[in-house]
Amino acid sequence: MDGFGVFGDMNGVPGFEGSQGGFFSGFGSFEMLSAWIPIMFGVVFVGIAGIIAYVIISNLRTWSANNAAALLTLHSTIVAKRTQVRGGGNSRASTHYYVTFELDNGERIELLVGGSDYGALVERDQGMLTYQGSRFKHFERDLQQQSGISTGRFYT
């Protein structure tokens, strides 16, 4: 011995009195703590990878369903418009624009549209809505008489 006691003897160190006392007493020893660190990193990594995989698979399913859906052009009326702002504060904000169309059969469809389309569309406008699945393609207003009365449905 070199006068410092037995290597690994923590009895004289404050906070490490006895074999299981002190700050790390719940872990049993430094060896147990060092065994848990890689496990926790693994759990966090698998969790993050799982979330990323879920988002990718969900987006691929939506994209595939939209591609498989028929391209429809139906007469509709714009019944509502709304925006959703995400982010802000210390991060960049993004705005999503939604328009709700009511088809002639009474069914309502809310579609995500671009900012320029959102600005050009007005509630109570009637016309031909073209969409595919959940993708907005185009909206063409009905031709109007000068008196403001609709001339009927305009189909292309």
- SS3 string, 42-99, reads HHHHHHHHHHHHHHHHHHHHHHHHHHHCCEEEEEEEEEEEEEEEECCCCCCCEEEEEE
Is 40 in the same domain as 99? Answer: no
pLDDT category of residue 33 using cuts at 50, 70 and 90: confident
Mean pLDDT, all residues of the chain: 83
Q: Is a pLDDT exceeding 70 seen at residue 93?
A: yes
**Can you tell me the mean pLDDT for 94-122?**
96
Domain count, the chain: 2
Is 132 in the same domain as 84? Answer: yes
User: 126 and 150 in contact (C-beta within 8 Å)?
Assistant: yes
Its sign, for the CA torsion 65, 67, 73, 77, is positive
Report yes or no on 121 lying in a domain.
Answer: yes
pLDDT of residue 37: 85
Report yes or no on 147 lying in a domain.
Answer: no
Contacts of 24 (CB under 8 A, 6+ apart): 16, 30, 33
Give the span between the Cα atoms of 111 and 100, in whole angstroms.
Answer: 6
Contacts of 122 (CB under 8 A, 6+ apart): 78
Q: Is a pLDDT exceeding 50 seen at residue 146?
A: no
Does this model's pTM top 0.85? My answer is: no
Which CATH number characterizes residue 102's domain?
2.40.50.660
Provide the residue range defining the domain that includes 48: 23-66
**Residue 36 in 3-state DSSP?**
helix
Is 28 in the same domain as 88? Answer: no
Q: Which range among 23-37, 69-83, 120-134 shows the weakest confidence by mean pLDDT?
A: 23-37
Is 52 in the same domain as 111? Answer: no
**For 41-55, how does the pLDDT look when each residue is reduced to its tens digit (9 = 90+)?**
999 999 999 999 999
Is 61 in the same domain as 82? Answer: no
Is 79 in the same domain as 42? Answer: no
pLDDT of residue 145: 45
